[in-house]
Amino acid sequence: MSSMRKFSAGLLLALCSLQAGAADSYAGRLLELTHAEHLAVPVYAQVREMFAQRFVELKAPDSRKALLESYQAKANTLLDRAIGWKVLRPELVTLYQKEFTEPELKGMVEFYESPLGQKMLAKLPELNHRSARMAQASLETVVPEVNKLLDEMANELTRAEAGKR
């Protein structure tokens, strides 16, 4: 291969690498702006609470709290290996890169860095929480009817099976 071809091939590889790096940096910045590093926090809290509940169920004395805390720390270590930010971040960057083009990622970063984007990020958790409460309240009115339909289906299936015998 001639020197010029080697140089061209090297330059092409470098440019591709730079483009991938830009997409990675946009995806990474988007994850930072949206505080994606907090995605797993509820799981850690839930597991911590599971250990605390088991501790209470076992009627363990307060003098054994250190044991509880040591097991909670061991559980956190396990969670870190499975869903810690060092594990999730590269996977999420790849996910975002597959779903969005570099210009789209750049546009999202620019939006979330803007005052309106910052306001949205600040308001979104509360809006999501309130939206979920609204949906749950609406569902509560229909749950008895859904349960009735489930019972009707079960009865109909049972009758159909009994009729086959």
Q: For tokens 């009729």, name the residue.
A: 163
Structure confidence at residue 15 (pLDDT): 41
Structure confidence at residue 24 (pLDDT): 78
Structure confidence at residue 22 (pLDDT): 62
d(CA 161, CA 164): 5
Structure confidence at residue 21 (pLDDT): 56
Burial class (CB in 10 A: 0-12, 13-18, 19+), 111: middle
DSSP character for 36?
G
pTM of the complete model:
0.65
Structure confidence at residue 1 (pLDDT): 53
Q: How far is CA 161 from CA 40, 99, 138, 148, 153, in A?
A: 46, 47, 35, 20, 12
Structure confidence at residue 20 (pLDDT): 46
Q: What is the pLDDT along the chain (165 residues), one digit of tens a residue?
A: 555 555 444 444 444 443 445 657 999 999 999 999 999 999 999 999 999 999 999 999 999 999 999 999 999 999 999 999 999 999 999 999 999 999 999 999 999 999 999 999 999 999 999 999 999 999 999 999 999 999 999 999 998 888 877
Structure confidence at residue 5 (pLDDT): 56
- Which phi-psi region, left, alpha or beta, contains residue 35 (left: φ > 0; alpha: ψ -120 to 50)? left
d(CA 111, CA 113): 5
